[in-house]
Amino acid sequence: MTDDALFHGLNSSGDCLALGERALELIRKIYPICRSITGDGVRETLRHVARHVPLEVFEVPSGTAVLDWTVPAEWSIRDAFIADSSGRRIVDFRRHNLHVMSYSTPVHARMTLHELRPHLFSLPEHPEWIPYRTSYFRANWGFCLPHRLLESLPDGEYEVLIDSELKPGNLTYAECRVPGTTREEFIVYTHICHPSLCNDNASGIALTTILAAELARHQPRLSYRFVFAPATIGAITWLARNQDRLSLIRAGLVLGLVGDAAPLTYKRSRRGNTEIDCIAAAVVRDLDPNSRVVDFSPYGYDERQFCSPGFDLPVGRLTRSPNEAYAEYHTSADNLDLMKPSALAESFLAAARILARVDSNPRYLSRYPNAEPMLGKRGLHRGISRLTPRDMEYAMLWLLNQADGSHGLNDVSAVSGLPESTLREAAAMLVSAGLIDEVHGAPALDHPAPEHENR
Amino acid sequence: MTDDALFHGLNSSGDCLALGERALELIRKIYPICRSITGDGVRETLRHVARHVPLEVFEVPSGTAVLDWTVPAEWSIRDAFIADSSGRRIVDFRRHNLHVMSYSTPVHARMTLHELRPHLFSLPEHPEWIPYRTSYFRANWGFCLPHRLLESLPDGEYEVLIDSELKPGNLTYAECRVPGTTREEFIVYTHICHPSLCNDNASGIALTTILAAELARHQPRLSYRFVFAPATIGAITWLARNQDRLSLIRAGLVLGLVGDAAPLTYKRSRRGNTEIDCIAAAVVRDLDPNSRVVDFSPYGYDERQFCSPGFDLPVGRLTRSPNEAYAEYHTSADNLDLMKPSALAESFLAAARILARVDSNPRYLSRYPNAEPMLGKRGLHRGISRLTPRDMEYAMLWLLNQADGSHGLNDVSAVSGLPESTLREAAAMLVSAGLIDEVHGAPALDHPAPEHENR
Amino acid sequence: MTDDALFHGLNSSGDCLALGERALELIRKIYPICRSITGDGVRETLRHVARHVPLEVFEVPSGTAVLDWTVPAEWSIRDAFIADSSGRRIVDFRRHNLHVMSYSTPVHARMTLHELRPHLFSLPEHPEWIPYRTSYFRANWGFCLPHRLLESLPDGEYEVLIDSELKPGNLTYAECRVPGTTREEFIVYTHICHPSLCNDNASGIALTTILAAELARHQPRLSYRFVFAPATIGAITWLARNQDRLSLIRAGLVLGLVGDAAPLTYKRSRRGNTEIDCIAAAVVRDLDPNSRVVDFSPYGYDERQFCSPGFDLPVGRLTRSPNEAYAEYHTSADNLDLMKPSALAESFLAAARILARVDSNPRYLSRYPNAEPMLGKRGLHRGISRLTPRDMEYAMLWLLNQADGSHGLNDVSAVSGLPESTLREAAAMLVSAGLIDEVHGAPALDHPAPEHENR
């Protein structure tokens, strides 16, 4: 319970079911929107988010250099279809926005099936599903459709329309900031560029929103930044614009794909053994023995950018099925049917616990490092507490002994065998008595390298 | 045998039985004395010690600031009793000094049982035993008595006398110094503040005395300081007064509770993997497979002060039952019946071996680090020795190869598989030949962290 | 295959059989020569080597100070025998050069068997074999003979002749240099001082020669120095004369005793976990599960000098039976019968693979360490390759992520699970695209200490 103090008593997936339902409601609202890495779909999505949390929206002009990249032209689309010779819309963007390859250039033409064929994408292994395709950085157009439909198309002429536009505009992203009592920051990052795909990543957008909303009701120690931005180019843009602030980042979590039935997966940061890696691994294992803790790889979502060798930030990733690890990934089958309220609830609980534990994982520096300070003259010797006097004294002695600025409360708990709640209460008394001070800013030392269980 | 060269051939608990008996004799003499953290009981105890070893006694005035603490007033007691209405002494300090809470303020009054009751301490779970209580830093008075006696007291009026005094005086501690051929120091520390408790710590005082006496008959390499001082405030006083000399400490051992039947316990230093940790762990395991090697915790005896984060010295602790781990702990049952001569003998052997192995664990620096020096021209090639020529040559080659100033002889033995005795003989020849020099002062590098077997 | 790119497709012991046969031919030619640590036997041996590879021969005058040693007088021998009273040569240097102790001082005398006896050496446990004895640094003379012959000698007078000479001359060694495209060096070292002993070390001389000859047909990245020099004094001389160049040494291999039937043995460098230790251990285990990887010890061949504490170079040793670990070691039974063409072939393959893998184990530094560089605009996004696009993209992402100058390609392969061949191809594309640069000169970081399997 104390671990989740930040969220006041979230203790089980059950307690979070209402929050999971709220996330699901939001998923239902944003699922139909046609998002891409730029454009009005993103803006409309952020308006939904902004109904739950205060949001600062940033617009970065096309053409802006961001590290090795350039913000692309803004894409908008009004309509798209393939019609047969009778004028009947066989493939219709209005029925499913996955039908159009994202960033398709405009086209309006009549052509034979043979001419059209190179622009048609389907999944032979899942003949009923529409695949999800993009062509952000190479001019192209295309339609995605069920393979059975593709197979059934008769030869002949078709009318093809993509009423899209690629023109100078902006890349849109947003931040919800929850200031804490310290300047150290925790970053939660979720990608907002995928159209009608539920798990990837309406679920992440919704869960991040609810998490931010819940957090904002409390007073955290760390300062939080919830970043809603397109994948890759969004993370790169954010990093480029925040380079001088990265040293404030105590830890971070990339959040996405959090609504399906698969067990939780925590992916370690590149350094593999930072504070959040230790804490998140413990949290997900504690919630579900089937949960997975996997090593970093430079493939996945935006942890790739945070964990590039130059930044090498302590940022991990929380998903359920990782990308590509479920059949419905990047298809029209990644829809509302895939969403499990209990999974959303558990994902919320896991993320909340990770935040809460990092938030309440202070490091201390003793003002009396040489020999033990005298507890008695400060009224601390077996002081009054709801704890047994003995436990309280043990906790104080361990804290004083480990208060060299490098050990988090989680480390003191591990070495002493005492629960963090006991240590936290003891630490508060020691701080009040002027014996130890909380350390901010200095990075926690890395821990011994973990066993590499999964790769 | 070579390992115990310092003590000339102490090789088994059997060899040490006479020494164990000498320790037991001394225990018998000092057991009845009423000691506390200050006062004449400490001085009388030290006079007994001084009959065996040269002792420098230090008197530190009350009120002296020592780190975060202040040396308290000196306590003395002449008499104390509870008498019933008939004048009969029901509880009598003259019968057992545990009857009076240590540092009791003076009192002489008649009072009802009801008024007296808050000042009476007993052990319901051991109705025949007198508990041991202190109130050093909070003015109070009290009597300790068997629970059965407490239960049997009739209502009525009692005469209560504690003829004690708390006034400016001194904290008394003593050092026995055995100079070695180098300035590096080994500290053996034992606490002298407990009254009639045998294992805790008449046994430690006596064993430390006999150990110092035996050592003084030989010529050690390191310089030894055997410190007899009260627990906590004594260690803090000693550390405060010796801060500028701490860099000379090569290793140290807190010695106490060494006479009971439990197997040996070595408690690692805070760093956990220093030279003495490796050596002491090997010694106690070698003596008895049931012996325990436990990790550091900031609870126990004066290793807490030596291993505070600011000092962080390579000081471990040797006990049999650790504090609180035996039923008789801090009760009148911690008496002479608990003392086992064979246990005292084994404790002596363990401590002596630890000292001897650290004493004879030189580190070397080669004068010829680049390629092998020529052994032949120095008459060392398969030199004359009681060892096989081959073993001697191996030992020389290993020593020359590892003579980079960071490896102790114990490390060379571990990596080479050669016995320390062989390496010692080879090292003497290499030193004589001017090929290597013994390194002093530079701290031995820590070893890889140990497996944490017990916590 | 890619691993052996340096040698164009050596993939199995089978492929190397012809090379093993060429080594065996050379062994047959140099086996009969009477070598010692100096003298014409060495020069004649080097003339044989020089028929295969360009060789620079160095002559270092007797009396030259080399580190702690001095180059000894040069030894030459024309004839030696023990003749019986009838003038019959019972022991004849012309029949086997092992009959004379190497560096024997000249003698011509008639003496009784009793007088002769202290100068006769035999092997009672192998009565048919001639032992190999030397006395380089102590003036002495001696004959080695089968024990059965020694036993059969009748009392009486014998004529003893050793027509040898010890006079100022030179110590001879040679280098075959194969320049690479970088200045970083790989050292292959083999000892050339043993007379008619096949495995020790006609096999090493021959294999090193064939290895150098094969390598010289290709264009390596590293620069290679194949050093043919006497054991101990030769290595010390070479190190003394090359001290200012040692910082160029990327890795090295002492090669010898490579023709017998025992499985391969790789002996780690003193540091135990350098690049060549990781690579060589993998190579020998891959070739034969019975192969052994053993920790460094300061006993053996010239790895002792390279791995002395002052130099501490990343130099390992490749043998089959290590010295002394086979019955025929240093006896006349170490003859051509012991040579196995398949063993020579496998030894060649192991050495070639070790060289090839170190040669092609670049470290990279990213020019775009902050976030991922954009692959698409450089035509690298799922670029054209014979690899699947996905594997190529994974390889690029891993390389970019690990391109911090400290990871060799072998490390990237280990952490990513991708084959080195894939990574190599991807790296070439990234270098071409100007995204990463190969790092030279900076030493590869050591890896975590290995499990110590064998000592």
**Residue B408 carries which side chain, given as an amino acid letter?**
G
DSSP sequence for A156-197: SEEEEEEEEEEES-EEEEEEEEE--SSS-EEEEEEE---SS-
Q: Between B240, B243, B310, which is nearest A369 by CB?
A: B310
Quote the DSSP letter at residue A100.
Answer: B
Q: Does A390 reach chain B within 8 Å, measured CB to CB?
A: no
Q: Does B114 reach chain A within 8 Å, measured CB to CB?
A: no
Q: Is A395 in contact with A416 (CB distance < 8 Å)?
A: yes
Average pLDDT, chain A: 91
Q: Is A437 in contact with A364 (CB distance < 8 Å)?
A: yes
Place of tokens 């040396």: B71
Strand partners, B226: B176, B188
- The pLDDT of A236-265, averaged and rounded, is 96
List strand residue ranges (DSSP E) for A196-277, in order. 223-229, 249-255, 265-267
What does the pLDDT read at residue B144?
97
> Cα separation of A192 and C255, whole Å?
60
Q: State yes or no: pLDDT of A226 exceeds 60.
A: yes
Q: Do A298 and C373 touch (CB under 8 A)?
A: no
Q: Does C71 reach chain B within 8 Å, measured CB to CB?
A: no
Neighboring chains of A (3 or more beta-carbon pairs < 8 A): B, C
Q: Does C232 reach chain B within 8 Å, measured CB to CB?
A: yes
Q: Do B371 and C138 touch (CB under 8 A)?
A: no
Q: Does C369 reach chain A within 8 Å, measured CB to CB?
A: yes
C380 pLDDT tier (thresholds 50, 70, 90) = confident
C178 contacts: CB under 8 Å, gap ≥ 6: C212, C215, C216, C220, C223, C224, C226
Shortest CA gap C371–chain A (Å):
4
> Cα separation of B43 and B49, whole Å?
10
Q: Do B370 and C308 touch (CB under 8 A)?
A: yes
Q: Between C371, C402, C417, which is nearest A239 by CB?
A: C371
Q: Do A308 and C372 touch (CB under 8 A)?
A: yes
Q: Do A374 and B308 touch (CB under 8 A)?
A: no
What does the pLDDT read at residue B163?
97
Shortest CA gap A189–chain C (Å):
15
Q: Does B291 reach chain C within 8 Å, measured CB to CB?
A: no
Q: State yes or no: pLDDT of C385 exceeds 60.
A: no
Instruction: Output the six-digit token pair for A326.
Output: 């479920």
Residues from chain B contacting residue C240 (CB–CB below 8 Å):
371
Average pLDDT, chain C: 91
B161: closest CA among B81, B102, B101?
B81
> Cα separation of C145 and C197, whole Å?
15
Instruction: Output the six-digit token pair for A254.
Output: 């990339």
Residues from chain B contacting residue C309 (CB–CB below 8 Å):
366, 369, 400-404
List strand residue ranges (DSSP E) for B12-156, in order. 56-61, 65-66, 69-70, 74-83, 89-92, 107-112, 120-121, 143-144
Neighbours of C115 (CB within 10 A): 13
**Residue A169 carries which side chain, given as an amino acid letter?**
G
**Residue C96 carries which side chain, given as an amino acid letter?**
H
Q: Does C310 reach chain B within 8 Å, measured CB to CB?
A: yes
C322 pLDDT tier (thresholds 50, 70, 90) = confident
What does the pLDDT read at residue B53?
97
What does the pLDDT read at residue A349?
95
> Cα separation of C455 and C448, whole Å?
18
pLDDT, tens only, B156-188: 999 999 999 999 999 999 999 999 998 899 999
- Nearest chain B Cα to A373, which residue? B68
Phi then psi for residue C293, to 5 deg, are -120, 115
What does the pLDDT read at residue B172?
98
Q: Does A394 reach chain B within 8 Å, measured CB to CB?
A: yes
pLDDT, tens only, A131-149: 999 999 889 999 999 999 9
What does the pLDDT read at residue B446?
45
3-state secondary structure at position A286: helix
Residues from chain A contacting residue B309 (CB–CB below 8 Å):
366, 369, 400-404
pLDDT, tens only, C174-229: 999 999 998 899 999 999 999 999 999 999 999 999 999 999 998 899 999 999 99
Place of tokens 């506390």: B36
CA distances from B441 to B183, B209, B247, B438 (A): 8, 27, 9, 10
Q: What is the CA radius of gyration of chain A?
A: 25
Query: Across the A/B interface, how many CB contacts are shorter than 8 Å?
Result: 63
Q: Which long-range contacts (CB under 8 A, 24 or more apart) does B211-217 make?
A: B211/B255, B211/B348, B211/B351, B211/B352, B211/B355, B212/B52, B212/B53, B212/B176, B212/B178, B212/B188, B213/B52, B213/B53, B214/B7, B214/B19, B214/B352, B215/B6, B215/B7, B215/B178, B215/B355, B216/B53, B216/B54, B216/B176, B216/B178
Q: Do A232 and C366 touch (CB under 8 A)?
A: no
Q: Is A80 in contact with A101 (CB distance < 8 Å)?
A: no
Distance of CA A235 to the CA centre of its chain: 11
Let me know the angle formed at the C-alpha of C414 by C413 and C415, rounded to the nearest 5 degrees.
95
Q: What percent of chain B has pLDDT over 70?
A: 92
> Cα separation of B224 and B222, whole Å?
6
Q: What percent of chain A has pLDDT over 90?
A: 83
Distance of CA C359 to the CA centre of its chain: 17
Shortest CA gap B412–chain A (Å):
26
Neighbours of B124 (CB within 10 A): 9
CA distances from B6 to B18, B249, B431, C128, C304 (A): 18, 19, 20, 52, 34
Q: Do B68 and A394 touch (CB under 8 A)?
A: no
Q: Does B294 reach chain A within 8 Å, measured CB to CB?
A: no
What does the pLDDT read at residue A305?
96
C455 pLDDT tier (thresholds 50, 70, 90) = very low
Q: Do C400 and A298 touch (CB under 8 A)?
A: yes
Lowest mean pLDDT among A350-359, B6-15, C221-230, C438-447: C438-447
Q: Do C404 and A297 touch (CB under 8 A)?
A: no
Q: Do A298 and C368 touch (CB under 8 A)?
A: no
Sign of the torsion formed by the C-alpha atoms of B313, B319, B325 and B329 = negative
pLDDT, tens only, B234-256: 999 999 999 999 999 999 999 99
